[in-house]
Structure 1
Amino acid sequence: MLACTLNANAATRERLSLDRGWLFHQGDLVEPPIVGHEESYSNAKAGNAGGAAGNEYDDSDWRRLNLPHDWAVEGPFDPKANVAQGYRPRGIGWYRRYLKVDPADRGKYFELQFDAIATHATVWVNGNVVNRNWSGYNASYIDITPYLRYGDSLNTIAIRVDAEAMEGWWYEGAGIYRHSWLVKRSPVHVITDGVHATPRQVKGKQWSIPVEVTLNNSGKTTGDVTVEVTVFDPAGKQVAKRTERASVNVLATSAVKLPVTINDPALWSIEKTNLYRVTTRVLQAGKVVDETSLHTGFRTIHFDAAQGFFLNGVHVKLQGVCIHQDHAGVGVAVPISIWEYRLRRLKEMGVNAIRFSHNAVASEVLDLVDRMGFVVMDENRNFNPSPDYMKQLEWMVKRDRHHPGIILWSVFNEEPVQATEVGYEMVRRMAAVVKSLDDTRPVTAAMNGGFLTELNVSHAVDVVGSNYQVKDYDRYHKAHPNKPFTSSEDTSAFMTRGEYKTDKEKNLISSYDDDAAKWGNTHRDAWQAIDTRPFVAGGFVWTGFDYRGEPTPNEWPSVSSVFGIMDMNGFAKTAYYIHQVQWIKDKPLIHIAPHWNWTKGENVRVMVMANVETIKLLLNGRELGEQKVDPYRMNNFNVAFEPGKLEAIGYKGGKEVVRTAVETTGEAVSLELIPDRAQLTGDGLDALPITVRALDAQGRAVPLAQNEVTFAVTGGGRSIGHGNGDPNSHEDEKGATRRLFNGLAQLIVQTNYEAGDDVTVTATAAGLKAARVTIPVKRVAAVPYVEPADAPLTFVRSWRIAPDGDARPDPNQTLAAFDMNTWGWGSPPMRAAAGGKYHLYRASFTPRKNLADGTGLIRFAAIKGKAEIWLNGQLIGKKDSYAAAPLDVTLPAGSGKCEINVLIEAEAGQGSGIEGDVTIEPSK
């Protein structure tokens, strides 16, 4: 049943979550080869998919779960698996779900939506292949209207996910890792992503939104409608409205243009994220039959070849990061609230630009980006202008073009043909498609060389994106002074959080920003090269966070990268504070690295990071030195360790404006739990990270603690994973325990659906005082969803029908395997007209495993006429009356495929037949 609807008007659009109640099997399910005449014939027919793709497959022993789901993160590490994928085996997996549709919805348009499935996916509905998708990063919108059954006959959705297929050289996860939806619409409706509403500046303070709405008509008659577009300002006040008449032919699409003018809009910027709502309604005979809304923003962007990037006419240096989409504990199945936490951590560091590398991110994340104030390089995954792959690029642009935060479309990352005519021609075609869909933003490509050849990709893009080519910045600009230029990827420096001595045998790298990949630079070098060149629009540090896979420069036992400014939990490394003092100018900041737990007399390198004029360092109140702040290199002191307090004081204009300190701590005596937020929302979706750390007797965090912590979560939530930032850890991310790594770990808790109770988390560790925290849960209405439907029934649907006759036929007669035409075909209800006395129906089915003990029934909703029920050549039941009536027959014990024959004797002059569903189900 459809548990909830989006609004009171049943005729308008309903977008219902399909996340609940999936069945999952890890591993492939291969059916025996098809060799017979009948099997071959049947296999080629619509709705007759075999095995786990089919309608009646026995999935009773499959695991039940809710989406989003990443099965790779649940598995063990394997040193023989792919290093690039973080040594996580991926493989094949199957999902199935049952869907019950109200007969009252007959005639509506039904669409399945999967926001992303890793990696390749084939989708069946009721045994019909309805979609094949060739990327783990784009959504699938699937019209399932023609295949649906209504009422008690459940619909079967089956999905085979091929996660052996790889698109990247990083951890990609496995499974349906973003949300799924069922969307119901009126026959005449706005297609998904069918509203193009990207604002343009006309002149001065006059702007327009040249709205274009694409309609579809799945109905049986021409749709004459009125399309209405209304624009609301950030305060919710209506500022524009336009209507147009449209006529949409049967099973056709039609585009309607409704340009609106907006005078003096509030501009969107990184600091003031003013968003306007564009609502589109479709009215038929005066009644609203479809409605959809999106948010957009008014802003100007310009890339200047000499001075870089301008937003609303104001120069902005792009202080950016590249990020992948996995997080500690959850893999790529990242709740949107955890994305909000990740983006907030970046904002606190001073980031104003993000490159979602190297693929389209979830649409909810772009909504967050618009609200929180970032500009974005939106990047295509597969570099290929062939039709299948061009569809992926078109999808990304259509879905994302209304977002004001997006300032660049990137068509590729680091392609071997980038310096050739082939690369140029491929990009020329892809850029043309982008421009046909959105010509308000420049196109770029992330090139790691080759932009100085005679003909290359840089000649086909609007803004040249450079990965790491610092040595060629000036050379390129001199050769092409009129071409806008940005670093699209830079740095690739190595740090292990909390480590300040490199130990190559243990795959640990110190956090003083001294180590970088041979193709890259340290954080300090990379930013200095960008910031001191006005023509370089900005940069995107590789990477904002550590991520699974690509553990360069290490391999096993390292399973995640160490490129991140933060670790996989969002815990800061030294690089975080280096960039923070470089990128935040409006408040004084100062930080010290490292911690102050060392051996007495040991010589310690102390790095002080500050955005003031001068700094002074003190140890136990004793001045150690004063230095002028170096905004690019930071400041360093060599200090002989002695226990106590190490302080750094920042001065501006000769006055103290900021100070910080690190202290020598004692041994850990207790645990502490620090929730990221004060409250959770009880919708089953909200999740929050909890920092776990160890304290000494004076309540100070112990930076070297490595204790193993056991978690217990009770009440209205559950643990969905944990991490500690150790790139060499092989701990179970879904288990009950996690070791602290250099003093820290992170637990992620998520509310249960319709949770009412608060969530209580307890953390214990041997020899330490336990910690306990209770997080209030706010009760809210559930996101509208489709109620999970169990499938205890097997529906016997595909029947052969013997010719009518007056002589009683042999119910078990043999039909030649190649004879597909002597007997007819049908599905219940099957009614024979008056005339012939005997009617014979034959079908096959395989009972579910739980019915093998003889506790099942063959249930006929109604049979008209006297009947004999034969199973595998044995008479197992009879009906002795002519009147239409239900019939239950006990299913004999046993397993495997069964052949059922139903012989019906008609009353003279009357019709007869199987008049309702035939199901195989438990007797109780």
Structure 2
Amino acid sequence: MIAYRIFPWLFITCLCVCICSYGQPGTRSEKLLLDNGWRFHLGDIPFPVIRGNSESYNASKAGNAGGAAAVKYDDSQWRVLNLPHDWAVESDVDSSANVAQGYRKRGFGWYRRSFTLDSTDKGKNLELQFEGIATHATVWVNGQVVRYSWSAYNSFYIDISAIARYGKEKNQIAVRVDADAMEGWWYEGAGIYRHTWLVKRPPLHISTDGVFAQPIKTADGSWLIPAEVTLENTGNKSAAPQVNIAVYDKYGKQVTSAQANATVDVLDKAVVKLNLHVNNPELWNIESPVLYTVKTVVTANGSNDQVTTKCGFRTIRFDADSGFYLNDKHVKIQGVCNHIDHVGVGTAMPDALWAFRIQKLKELGANGYRCSHNPPSSILLDLCDSLGMVVMDENRNFNTSPEYLAQLEWMVRRDRNHPAIVLWSVFNEEPIQGSPVGYEMVRRMSKIVKRLDTSRPVTAAMSGGFFEPVNVSQAVDVMGFNYEIKGYDRFHKEHPTQPMTSSEDASGVMVRGEYVTDKTKHTLDSYDTQFPSWAATHRVAWKAIAERQWMAGCFVWTGFDYHGEPTPYTWPTVNSNFGIMDICGFPKAAYYIHQSQWIPNKNVLHLIPHWNWPADSIGKPIKVMALSNADNVKLLLNGKLIGEKKNDLYEMVSWEVPYKPGKLEAIGYKNGKEVSRYVVETTGVPAQLQLIPYKDTLKNDGQDVTPITVQVLDAAGRPVPTANNHITFEIKGAGNIIGLGNGNPNSHEPEKGNQQSLFNGLAQVIVQSQPGAEGVLTITAKAEGLQPATISIPFKKVPAVAAVQ
């Protein structure tokens, strides 16, 4: 048995869940959003050819970058936009482009941004932060190369204190992005697709990702936070700071504190260690994810720096005989894997859209999230902390060279404070996983992880090779299986002391609202019958996990459909079909299958298919499937009993019903009592549009978004599940449409603009507020021959986001 205990802090750099802070009262630090007002050029811009001696000499000097990286380059004709930005999702699909990238051409792009610094900023530590650029990037500041980035998924931080300019003289950032470079076999987007920041701090300050506080439960049952604070001194004299840490409960009451002194030499770092004791804290768990606030203050030479983070108190344990334990309570991990894109916005995901997606997964009954196959945006981890979702955090590049080990180290440093994270994954499905080379590489990567965090186990998502004499499974703590159901029992028998989980599961494929598999039309039925050769249906895969107590759980591939990797079809199919939900977040039948299996205290009942079949279907058998956790399900058609069957929680229950228009009704029973009822009716023709916003209000910070569901109703007000009308949208007020979609994996309609067709009754439009918006945002949907729909979403006044002007 291997036990792990982890209760880390939450270090947050998000807009939506404001838990980490810079610039609190009494501090001099400021964290300013740098997303707005960038200039963008699609395509590469060659550097000028240099031949002369003088030109060669000058071009090699600091600050003399040429071409579009030059300080005085004329970018006045470039497009002005706000980040996050993904230029790939703005383009049309193209059959000649890479199938894995969703048939979207990527190429190269340039970004430029200028800003000024007040003379009072002289002497401060100034840092640019880029949370993510797809894929490779070169960054210049004031004509100097300051960073090369070799991963789309790693943040990087640039100290510009030495080269900054003050007063009226502008500072110029130039970024060249190479999005032809690929790290994955899925849609990766293109451009600066995550947030950017400018951080101003005192010369003596807390380093970025420099607070590490991990509550642990000691042998005597008490709780201890052995905190580490990394300090940095970019000033011109040595400092002797005092470090103060205080912990506050959810009511704002201080529960403990500690102080320590340190010395930090000029242009040097120091790590300060403090122990904080906490009595009887409330525990973080899936049902009640209680977070504590931690304030770290560093004072010296008349100035101070302060960082506010969060922590959660809990224990985790992976047991080879009985699975996963959270706070010594057995929990089956009911997880999902996901990529990082959404319809309409691609990888340029607003924070509020991440919140929408995690909420949808919680409603599904998921309690686990695998970051596939890369470190996520920090907002995702913040949300998992605050909403109660355990996480497998995953490294992207399997490589033990210094550059790539630094990427792994960055991931652990940034993310190790999150109580949600329970596993570190060092790779996914590497061909050398069953070899001594793979073993040696993972042995070294695991050492890097455990030098930074000993509280969580290391795993790797293996798709084979784990029965070879020397293989990666021997270098990890928890064995991770990808689609290897047949290997579960043998591995457990041969390695009875090693904990096991399914790191990637199922890969069943279906298309929302389709009930016939037709290869000529690229459709897949929704009865959970279709899966690739390596995979299994949702029902078979979950049964294999549920019936083996020693399997910690699973991470289903995937929670949502995503751009790219179309399977089993290729062109004209452009999106995946693996999702439990489609790319908009609309549930497929798999959603109700898993809900039935994953939420035992909720009475779940759902019927498929719809009951709108053409006239020539009358009398022909239609497969009707009830997705439920009831003991028994009764089915009636137009009040006439079709039959009652005992439900199988793994297989569900179905009937062959001769089609007749009318009302199909299911009734669920537990212990002989009716607990659920679901009705599917034959509807009339489309008559009117309906708009349903996910949120009733929008914050006026220019960051908030809400998806809006678009559907068609018949004259009786019933949704028409077969409607495919073309919709035009009009928007009034201080907001914008930032994306559209309909969940159709074969759709080639633009995801930007103001038009979209319904697919099997549904479409989605995503709107975003503008900074300082007042009044309401009004959205109108129109379609030929249908009554239009209009909704108004009020703006909620909130403090403006601190930003670089």
Normalised by the size of structure 2, how large is the TM-score?
A: 0.96
Shift in Å at residue 34 of structure 1? 1.2
Deviation at 1:31, TM superposition (A): 2.1
Runs of 4+ off more than 6 Å: none
Offset from partner CA, 1:305-342 (integer Å, 9 cap, x none): 11110110010011111001100100001111111111
**2:656 counterpart SS class:** strand
Retained in 2: the 8 A contact 1:205–1:265?
Answer: no
2:743 matches 1:725: yes
Name which one, 1 or 2, has greater alpha-carbon Rg: 1
Partner of 2:237: 221
User: Where does residue 259 of structure 2 map in the other structure?
Assistant: 243
SS state at 2:58 partner:
helix
Is 1:636 aligned with 2:651?
Answer: no
Summarize the Cα distance change of 1:11–1:605 in structure 2 as closer, same or farther, 3 Å threshold. Answer: closer
Rounded to whole Å, the distance in 2 between the matches of 1:658 and 1:429 is: 54
Residue 495 (1) aligns with residue 505 (2): no
Contact conserved, 1:674 with 1:690, CA < 8 A, in 2? yes
**Where does residue 684 of structure 1 map in the other structure?**
702
Question: What secondary structure, in the 3-state scheme, does the structure 1 residue paired with 2:360 have?
Answer: helix
Task: State the identity %.
Answer: 58
Give the deviation of 1:204 after TM superposition: 4.7
Match of 2:631 in 1: 613
Q: Deviations over 1:868-891 (max 9, x none)?
A: xxxxxxxxxxxxxxxxxxxxxxxx
How many angstroms apart in 1 are the aligned matches of 2:492 and 2:437? 24
Residue 517 of structure 1 is matched in structure 2 by: 532
| Equivalent residue for 1:568, pick from 556, 564, 583 | 583
Structure 1 unmatched runs, 5+ = 788-924
2:46 matches 1:30: yes
1:155 aligns with 2:176: no
CA distance in 2, matches of 1:296, 1:738: 43
Rounded to whole Å, the distance in 2 between the matches of 1:260 and 1:517 is 52
Deviation, structure 1 residue 288: 4.8
Partners of 2:179 and 2:512 lie apart in 1 by 31
Q: Distance in 1 between matches of 2:219 and 2:278?
A: 11
Residue 776 of structure 1 aligns to a residue whose secondary structure is strand
Residues 537-556 of structure 1 deviation map (CA, whole Å, 9 limit, x = unaligned): 11111111000000011111
SS of aligned partner of 1:216: strand
- Deviation string, structure 1 residues 162-198 (Cα, Å, up to 9, x no partner): 1111000000000110100000000000000001111
CA distance in 2, matches of 1:523, 1:658: 23
Contact 1:205 1:263 in 2 (8 A): no
* CA distance in 2: counterparts of 1:36 and 1:621, whole angstroms: 90
Name the residue aligned to 2:18: none
Distance across 1 between alignment mates of 2:696 and 2:753: 25
How high is the TM-score relative to the length of structure 1?
0.84
Q: Deviations over 1:587-621 (max 9, x none)?
A: 21111011111132221100001112111001111
2:312 alignment counterpart: 297
Distance 2:24 2:497 in 1: 56
The residue identity in structure 1 corresponding to 2:379 is: E
2:102 aligned partner: 86
Q: Which amino acid aligns with 1:544?
A: G
Query: What CA distance in whole angstroms lies between the structure 2 residues aligned with 1:710 and 1:77?
Result: 21
In structure 2, give the amino acid aligned to 1:673: L
Confirm whether residue 461 of structure 1 aligns to residue 482 of structure 2.
no
Conserved in 2, the CA contact under 8 Å of 1:92 and 1:164? yes
Inter-partner Cα distance in structure 2 for 1:503 and 1:364: 40
Q: For residue 334 of structure 1, what is the aligned residue in structure 2?
A: 349
| Counterpart amino acid of residue 348 in structure 1 | E
Q: Which residue of 2 aligns with 1:710?
A: 728
Which of 432, 454, 460 is the aligned partner of 2:447?
432
Match of 2:5 in 1: none
The answer to whether the aligner puts 1:784 opposite 2:799 as a matched pair is no
Match of 1:543 among 546, 550, 558: 558
1:699 matches 2:717 = yes
Q: Which residue of 2 aligns with 1:920?
A: none
Q: CA deviation at 1:463?
A: 0.1
Q: Partners of 2:351 and 2:48 in 1: how far apart?
A: 42
CA contact (8 A) 1:53 1:159 kept: yes
Matched position secondary structure for 1:146: coil
User: 1:325 is matched with which residue?
Assistant: 340
Matched ranges for 1:593-608 at <5 A: 593-598=608-613, 599-608=617-626
Change over 3 Å in CA distance of 1:225–1:551 after alignment to 2? same
Deviation at 1:220, TM superposition (A): 0.4
Among residues 284, 290, 296, which one is paired with 1:280 in the alignment? 296
Any idea what SS the aligned residue of 2:207 has? strand
Q: Separation in 1 of the partners of 2:451 and 2:48?
A: 48
CA contact (8 A) 1:193 1:398 kept: yes
Whole-Å separation in 1 of the counterparts to 2:773 and 2:23:
23
Residue 645, structure 1, aligned to residue 663, structure 2: yes
1:231 to 247, 253, 266: 247
* Matched residue, 1:366: 381
For residues 777 and 133 of structure 1, the distance between their equivalents in structure 2, rounded to whole angstroms, comes to 38
Higher RCO by CA contacts (8 Å cutoff, separation 6 or greater)? 2
Equivalences for residues 85-234 of structure 1 within 5 A: 85-234=101-250
Q: Distance in 2 between matches of 1:108 and 1:10?
A: 16
Provide the secondary structure at the position in 2 that maps to 1:156: strand
Q: C-alpha separation between the residues in 2 aligned to 1:301 and 1:423?
A: 27
2:397 counterpart of 1:382: yes
Q: What residue is the counterpart of 1:835 in the other structure?
A: none
CA contact (8 A) 2:242 2:299 kept: yes
Alignment check: 8 A CA contact 2:44 2:109 kept: yes
Cα-to-partner distance string for 1:832-883 (whole Å, 9 max, x where unaligned): xxxxxxxxxxxxxxxxxxxxxxxxxxxxxxxxxxxxxxxxxxxxxxxxxxxx
Supply the AA of the counterpart residue of 2:456. Answer: R
Aligned residues: 782
Preserved CA contact (<8 Å) 2:202 2:303: no
State which drifts further: 593-602 or 76-85. 593-602
* Amino acid across the alignment from 1:706: N
Distance 1:232 1:11, change over 3 A: closer
- Contact 1:205-1:264 within 8 A present in 2 as well: no
Counterpart of 2:547 in structure 1 is: 532
* Stretches of structure 2 lacking an aligned partner (at least 5 in a row): 1-20
Task: Report what 2:8 is aligned to.
Answer: none
Shift of 1:571: 0.3
State the match for 2:410 in structure 1: 395
Instruction: Give the conservation status (yes or no) of the 8 Å contact 1:27–1:91.
Output: yes
Structure 2 counterpart of 1:38, one-letter code: S
Q: Is the 8 A contact 1:127 1:156 kept in 2?
A: yes
Q: 2:60 & 2:658 partners in 1: Cα distance?
A: 80
How far apart, CA to CA, are the structure 2 residues paired with 1:215 and 1:625?
Answer: 71
Q: Is the 8 A contact 1:493 1:522 kept in 2?
A: yes
Are the counterparts in 2 of residues 546 and 566 from structure 1 also a CA contact under 8 Å? yes
Secondary structure in 2 aligned to 1:571?
Answer: coil
Give yes or no for contact 2:392–2:422 (8 Å, CA) kept in 1.
yes
